[in-house]
């Protein structure tokens, strides 16, 4: 099989043209080429079963038409949604996406960043977990455009797009309080990200506003662990573990807010194992509104975050940046929305 691959020179020869002319027609340049020549070249290309070598073009044009996307894990449906949005926009602009799973590993994240640069990527969308502030500086210095998604990065040259986690948690708690709940627990993964801290703030704000002081013990944070890498089962298990702690307390809460739907699934599951009815005895609210949430029994009341839209928005902004268009805003915050389903109810 594979002989020497066909190049524009082969086509040139066959069509009695020069490589330049071939390039002009095959790359759809606006450069004038006679109709006849065009035809001959197209025919030759087809006859030889020609496939353009983008490496050549890209090297010449210094543009790989590829963007990099770094996320913690594609196994998390939250990110799968985001990536879908990114990809859609990228495709529309003729860009490809190099997807990198950092597996919550800062080392890996740094490595990927480097490789992306070597691959001549001109733009990167990243949901970073690195706490290292200046990790991105060398890349920015080289002119790479960077969009931070979901996780804010403290750097004036980085475009930011995220959700209002505070407001989401605030809305959820307000809702519960409105339903008569005064004993609301917060079950969350470690507060090692700004988003999680905002979430806690929303929880506190809603309580303060209502003049309620929740027990310290109702705030349950799972232990910080490095290798969360593999799958959503980790979050689920967290939800179970923390719920168990809650149930072993003298003063049980009547409602539980979880930092995400996966965790909420664990909460509900554990409550089930203790024979506690949801929402009859304890109400549960999740966060994210991934598709899982409607599949649970009872269907999960949760805070929707427009994940797909965030992906689209992040990528649109990046495209604007790369194409030299005007940018709307350097910092964008997307609004959450409370999705009322069946897992939270009025306190009797």
Partner DNA sequence: CTGAAAGCGCTAACAA
Partner DNA sequence: TTGTTAGCGCTTTCAG
- What residues numbered 204-243 form the site for its own copies, per CB under 8 A? 230-233, 236
Which CB, 118 or 223, lies closer to DNA?
Answer: 118
Instruction: Choose the one of DNA, its own copies, none that binds residue 140, judging by a C-beta under 5 to 8 angstroms depending on kind.
Output: its own copies
What mask of x and - would describe binding to its own copies in positions 315 to 344, judged by CB under 8 A?
------------------------------
Please tell me the distance from the alpha carbon of residue 165 to that of residue 244, in angstroms, as a whole number.
25
Please tell me the distance from the alpha carbon of residue 113 to that of residue 126, in angstroms, as a whole number.
9
Tell whether residue 18 is a contact of DNA (CB under 7 A): yes
Please tell me the distance from the alpha carbon of residue 131 to that of residue 106, in angstroms, as a whole number.
8
Instruction: Choose the one of DNA, its own copies, none that binds residue 31, judging by a C-beta under 5 to 8 angstroms depending on kind.
Output: DNA
Q: In the complex, what is the shortest distance from the CB of residue 15 to DNA, in angstroms, rounded to a whole number?
A: 8
Q: In the complex, what is the shortest distance from the CB of residue 122 to DNA, in angstroms, rounded to a whole number?
A: 13
The residue within the footprint of its own copies, chosen from 8, 81, 289, 315 (CB under 8 A), is 81
Contact of 65 with 46, CB cutoff 8 Å:
no
How many residues bind DNA, per CB under 7 A? 31
- Sign for the pseudo-dihedral over CA of 70, 73, 75, 81: negative
Q: Select from 299, 285, 289 the least CA-distant residue to 334.
A: 289
Contact of 67 with 92, CB cutoff 8 Å:
no
DSSP string, 294-348: HHSSSPPEEEE--HHHHHHHHHHHHHHHHTTPPPS-SEEEEPPEEE--SS-----
Binding residues for its own copies, rule: CB under 8 A, are 1-2, 5, 49, 51-56, 58-59, 62, 64, 73-75, 77, 80-81, 83-84, 87, 96-99, 101, 114-115, 117-120, 138, 140-143, 230-233, 236, 262, 265-266, 268-269, 272, 291-292, 294-297
């Amino acid at each position: 099989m594979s002989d020497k691959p066909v190049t524009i020179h082969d086509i040139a020869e066959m069509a009695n043209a020069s490589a330049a002319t071939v390039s002009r027609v095959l790359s759809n340049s606006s450069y004038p080429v006679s109709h006849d020549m065009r035809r001959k070249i197209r025919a030759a290309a087809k006859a030889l079963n020609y496939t353009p070598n983008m490496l050549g073009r890209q090297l010449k044009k210094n543009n790989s038409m590829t963007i990099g996307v770094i996320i913690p894990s594609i196994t998390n449906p939250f990110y799968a949604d985001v990536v879908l949005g990114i990809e859609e926009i990228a495709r529309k602009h003729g860009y490809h996406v190099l997807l990198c799973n950092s597996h919550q590993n800062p080392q890996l994240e740094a490595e990927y960043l480097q490789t992306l640069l070597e691959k001549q990527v001109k733009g990167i969308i990243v949901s970073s977990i690195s706490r290292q502030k200046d990790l991105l500086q060398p890349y920015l210095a080289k002119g790479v455009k960077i969009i931070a998604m979901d996780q804010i990065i403290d750097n004036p040259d980085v475009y930011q797009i995220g959700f209002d986690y505070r407001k989401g948690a605030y809305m959820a708690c307000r809702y519960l309080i409105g339903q008569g709940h005064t004993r609301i627990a917060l079950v969350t993964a470690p507060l090692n990200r700004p988003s999680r801290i905002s979430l806690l703030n929303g929880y506190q704000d809603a309580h303060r506003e209502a003049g309620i002081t929740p027990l310290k013990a109702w705030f349950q944070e799972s232990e910080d662990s490095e290798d969360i890498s593999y799958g959503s089962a980790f979050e689920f298990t967290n939800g179970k573990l923390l719920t168990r702690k809650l149930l072993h307390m003298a003063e049980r809460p009547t409602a539980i807010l979880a930092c995400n739907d996966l965790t909420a699934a664990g909460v509900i599951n554990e409550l089930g194992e203790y024979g506690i009815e949801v929402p009859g005895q304890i109400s549960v609210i999740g966060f994210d509104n991934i598709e899982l949430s409607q599949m649970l029994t009872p269907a999960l009341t949760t805070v929707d975050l427009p994940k797909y839209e965030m992906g689209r928005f992040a990528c649109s902004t990046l495209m604007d940046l790369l194409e030299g268009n005007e940018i709307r805003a350097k910092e964008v915050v997307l609004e959450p929305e409370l999705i009322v389903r069946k897992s939270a109810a009025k306190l009797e």
